[in-house]
Chain A
Amino acid sequence: MTRINNFFEAFGAGVIMTWRAFAMLPAAPRILKRIAEQGFLIGYTSMPIIAILCFFIGSVLAIQAGISLREFGAKEFIGALVGASMARELGPVMVAIILAGRVGSAVTAELASMRVNSEIDALTTMNIPPERLLVLPRLLAVILVMPVLTMMANLVGWFGGAIVCEYVDFIGLSANEFFRNLQAYMKFSDVTDGLIKAEIFGIVVMIISCNTGLRTRGGPREIGLAVTKAVVLSLIAILTLDYFITKLLA
């Protein structure tokens, strides 16, 4: 019972925090530097791991598709399959999962330790809302960065698929044919729907991470627990939302 209570309390606090942060939007031009810093932290440093992961996801997709489609003699459709799966589903979800694990955890740890060390209290006494100084720049940065990261994930994934087609013998499809098929059957909305998804995932992960961090009380042990909690919550939120957004966009 108290767990359910705690959940709703945290949920309410998250809503209020987000509301307050966006209410400070007029201050955004003044915090461009901080947004840029956060964008760099979130985006640029996540690129290598996203590239590696999505390359292999694209490759695996192509192999699996190759095995299945070969039986129907329809292997030329690998391009369409890998292209759409990556753009609609795996690109946004993988980027969001990496965001939760790499960036969300760090954000939660930082804000939680600021709370535990009374830094947030110090800000409050200085009449500087933590929502403006700490939450808004991160939210805006993630909004800016998510589409870029997701586009990159898609491109690398497609590239991984093309490489597999070209060099794996039993598929025997040239990279050119792969991309021609991808282009022919993919719709523009496949990509834009994926970007919308990624944007929502990114915002939700950042809200969960900031809120969990700011709500931490206690000491070092609680900081660790908060990080675990934020990551688990983010993953649950990503996959649950994925279902509903997919249904809505279908």
Chain B
Amino acid sequence: MASPRKSCIQREDRSPASVNVDGLSKTYGQQEVLRDVSFKVEPGEIFVIMGPSGSGKSVLLRHIAGLEVPTRGALDINGLSPTEPETRNQFALALVFQSGALLNSLSVYNNLSLYPHEHQLCSKKEIHDRVMRALQILSIEHAAKKMPAELSGGMRKRVAIARALVMEPQLMLYDEPTSELDPIMAATIAEIIATLREEYAVTSIVVSHDRDLSLTIADRVALMQNGQIHSIAPPAEYRQATDPLITEFLNPQINLQNPRFKTLEATS
């Protein structure tokens, strides 16, 4: 692994994080959203989670980010529980939310500079350079002065990714980073995720529906189904899989004679 780039963000421990999820279950009211989820993500790995919508991927990411408390089971990052406030001082993680979750009262520039500014990590000039570089990487430097409300969904997503880049985290969590993006931008995001590992030495967990992205950049892919992990394997094994659930998810067939509509017509 290449040595991390020189940076004004100084941390005692700059090594990529390892994530250990053990028997994680989450219940909202009556609904069991996560059921006995277990996996390990190695330092520096790119771990992609795929699965139909509603299968609990976002909830899983929120647990890893320490935003939810498990009903049962445990998880740790470098041996530390992510819900403990102390943990957040030990290392940095960034979560790229599905919606972007930009601070609406701040301009794009201030959204990006918030983290180094609030933690007094860099000089004003250094912050400026970092912010502009992150905006350039995602080709949104023209939007620096705009407010989040003035951006399209795809741009908001890119700003959210840029905001995470500025943080230089040891663990990056992406929630569907390429949804709402055109194919070219989606490819760029895939490149960024892959490059980050070399440049910043970061562990990445990516939730994505994007089959090409997942199978290209992932070290391992997990398929989720109804709050459970269906399978975890390197991309190559998914390409050759014969399991109908995997093949159907990776290569959905568009059936113009879908019987679903026939029944609708019959009832109306």
Check B114 for interface membership: any CB of A closer than 8 A.
yes
Nearest-neighbor residue (CB-CB) of A127 within chain B? B88
Residues from chain B with a CB closer than 8 A to the CB of A127 are 88-89, 92, 119
Q: How far is the CB of A58 from chain B (nearest CB, A)?
A: 37
Instruction: Count residues on chain A whose CB falls below 8 Å from chain B CBs.
Output: 17
Check A119 for interface membership: any CB of B closer than 8 A.
yes
* Number of residue pairs spanning A and B whose beta carbons lie under 8 angstroms apart: 50
Q: How far is the CB of A119 from chain B (nearest CB, A)?
A: 5
* Residues 97-117 of A at the B interface (beta carbon under 8 Å): 110, 113-114, 117
Are A122 and B95 in contact (CB-based, < 8 A)?
yes
* Residues 214-265 of B at the A interface (beta carbon under 8 Å): none
Are A117 and B104 in contact (CB-based, < 8 A)?
yes
| Cross-interface CB contact of B101 among A118, A128, A132, A133, cutoff 8 Å | A118
Nearest-neighbor residue (CB-CB) of A126 within chain B? B115
Check B179 for interface membership: any CB of A closer than 8 A.
no
Q: How far is the CB of A176 from chain B (nearest CB, A)?
A: 50
Secondary structure dominating the interface of B: loop
Interface string of A121-138 (1 = CB under 8 A from B): 111111110001100000
Are A126 and B114 in contact (CB-based, < 8 A)?
yes
Docked complex Cα distance between A123 and B101 (Å): 9
Are A128 and B115 in contact (CB-based, < 8 A)?
yes
Docked complex Cα distance between A122 and B95 (Å): 7
The listed residue with most B CB atoms (<10 A of its CB), out of A121, A123, A127, is: A127
Check B55 for interface membership: any CB of A closer than 8 A.
no
Docked complex Cα distance between A14 and B99 (Å): 28
Check B50 for interface membership: any CB of A closer than 8 A.
no
Residues from chain B with a CB closer than 8 A to the CB of A121 are 62, 65, 67, 95, 97, 101
Check B118 for interface membership: any CB of A closer than 8 A.
yes
Q: How far is the CB of A28 from chain B (nearest CB, A)?
A: 14
Are B105 and A110 in contact (CB-based, < 8 A)?
yes
| Cross-interface CB contact of B67 among A114, A125, A128, cutoff 8 Å | A125
Are A122 and B115 in contact (CB-based, < 8 A)?
no
Q: How far is the CB of A131 from chain B (nearest CB, A)?
A: 12
Docked complex Cα distance between A132 and B167 (Å): 19
* Residues 43-85 of A at the B interface (beta carbon under 8 Å): none
With known contacts A121-B67, A133-B118, A126–B101 Cβ distance under 8 A: no
Are A122 and B119 in contact (CB-based, < 8 A)?
no
Nearest-neighbor residue (CB-CB) of A133 within chain B? B118
* Residues 87-106 of B at the A interface (beta carbon under 8 Å): 88-89, 92-95, 97, 99, 101-105
Interface string of B58-85 (1 = CB under 8 A from A): 0000100111000000000000000000
**Interface of B with A (CB < 8 Å)?**
62, 65-67, 88-89, 92-95, 97, 99, 101-105, 114-115, 118-120, 167
16 A-B pairs within 8 Å (CB atoms) are namely A110-B105, A113-B104, A117-B99, A118-B99, A119-B104, A121-B67, A122-B95, A122-B101, A124-B67, A126-B94, A126-B167, A127-B92, A128-B114, A128-B115, A128-B119, A132-B118
Seed contacts A127-B88, A128-B115; 19 additional CB < 8 Å A-B pairs: A114-B103, A114-B104, A117-B99, A118-B97, A119-B102, A121-B62, A121-B97, A121-B101, A122-B101, A123-B103, A124-B66, A125-B65, A125-B66, A125-B93, A125-B94, A127-B89, A127-B119, A128-B118, A128-B119
In the A-B complex, the 8 residue pairs with the smallest Cβ-Cβ separation, listed nearest first, are: A118-B101, A122-B101, A127-B88, A125-B95, A128-B118, A126-B115, A125-B65, A121-B67
